[in-house]
Amino acid sequence: MQRMGIQRNIENLYACGVHENDVYKTLVDAVTKILNWVNIFKNTQDSEASSVDFGSENGVKKVAISEVIDIEEMAWAPKYGLKGMIDASVRVKVEANKNEPDVKVMPSEFKTGKVPKDQARLFSVPKSLRGLLYSTDEHSAQVILYTLLMSERYQKHVDTGLLCYLQSDQTQGIAVRRSDIVGLIVQRNQLANDIVKASRLQVLPPMLRNSSLCRICRHLNVCTIYHKLQNKSETEG
């Protein structure tokens, strides 16, 4: 099945300069780890392995997946002007103080790497730079946005999610806070406004020139080239 998927996307792999054998190995490793993750969280006999930390306010809770509702689920939330593809939408039994566990629907996001070293909380950077999140916060923000999508999709309040790092076999619980949602929606609106402005004026925002933020930005090369050309044009003009 993996080979068939690779063959269907062989042109994209060629465009990325990636060998199909390397992709196949990565896929096999990832699938093996995902299956191992599913076995751990569906088998609740190992209470330590299936425990997830949902942060200081919610603590460590035992988690058991009762159903995988969908995978790679495309969801829209017109209310928020958002859409995205959720790795897995799952129904989960979460340990509660009462006898019966809470049954919740939540997103589960899988990352192929390890938990990043930067563990700063969301929006810990200066207000003007809050949209440029460190890697850990970026992943957490992604899960938080998925809870908004699932709330719209399933018409029920979704306030938690799972963030799984396959390489290090670590799973983090993401508990949604109102302040997180407000900050992300503000950034979403700012981004939408900047995109409209850039398309109209054909001018992009100035470079941040912040090494700690720029070095982890996925647009570093494009941004640098663009501003280099822009500065050269202004100098010659």
The stretches in the chain having pLDDT less than 50 are 119-136, 237
Tell me which residue of 112, 110, 135, 109 sits closest to 122, measured CA to CA.
135
Q: What does the pLDDT read at residue 124? A: 40
How far apart are alpha carbons 52 and 73 in whole angstroms? 23
Q: Return d(Cα 224, Cα 220) in angstroms, integer.
A: 6
pTM: 0.75
pLDDT at position 232 is 65
Structure confidence at residue 147 (pLDDT) = 95
The amino acid at 216 = I
Rounded to whole angstroms, the Cα distance separating 110 from 120 reads 20
